[in-house]
Amino acid sequence: MMPEKVTVSDEIKEENRKIRFLRFLVDFSILSIQQGDLTLEEAFKRVEEVKRVALNLFPGKEMAFELIYRQRFERTIHERFGATSRIS
């Protein structure tokens, strides 16, 4: 049995799947913070959990996470809790 040949198209599809999953996870997490389901401490932990998943999906892309998602989370936490401290 011959191994399957992975094409560029397959790689693009996989990359798009990962991006969609990460977007879903971020949106779901932001909604849970906005709806009051989490305490401030839990909200901070949720952000770090999402970041961990993002880096597992896209190793070495920490700066991309910081630029794309960090501000959304900070803004959401500030709106919900009035917290001004930066998420670590």
- Which has more confidence, 28 or 85? 28
Q: Which domain holds residue 70?
A: 9-81
Report yes or no on 48 lying in a domain: yes
Report yes or no on 1 lying in a domain: no
* Total tally of structural domains belonging to the chain: 1
What is the C-alpha separation between 41 and 23, in angstroms, rounded? Answer: 22
Report yes or no on 26 lying in a domain: yes
CA 69 to chain centroid, in Å, comes to: 7
Read off the pLDDT of residues 37-83 as tens digits, 9 standing for 90 and up: 789 999 999 999 999 999 999 999 999 999 999 999 999 999 999 86
Average pLDDT over residues 20-48: 95
The contacts of residue 79 (CB under 8 Å, 6+ apart) are: 34
Report yes or no on 37 lying in a domain: yes
Residue 45's alpha-carbon distances to 4, 9, 52, 65, 77, in angstroms, are 40, 36, 11, 15, 12
Residue 88 has pLDDT above 90, yes or no: no
Give the DSSP letter of residue 69. Answer: I
Report yes or no on 87 lying in a domain: no
Residue 5 has pLDDT above 90, yes or no: no
* Single pTM value for the model: 0.82
Report yes or no on 40 lying in a domain: yes
Residue 84: band (very low, low, confident or very high) from pLDDT cuts 50, 70, 90:
low
Residue 11 has pLDDT above 60, yes or no: yes
What is the C-alpha separation between 77 and 81, in angstroms, rounded? Answer: 6
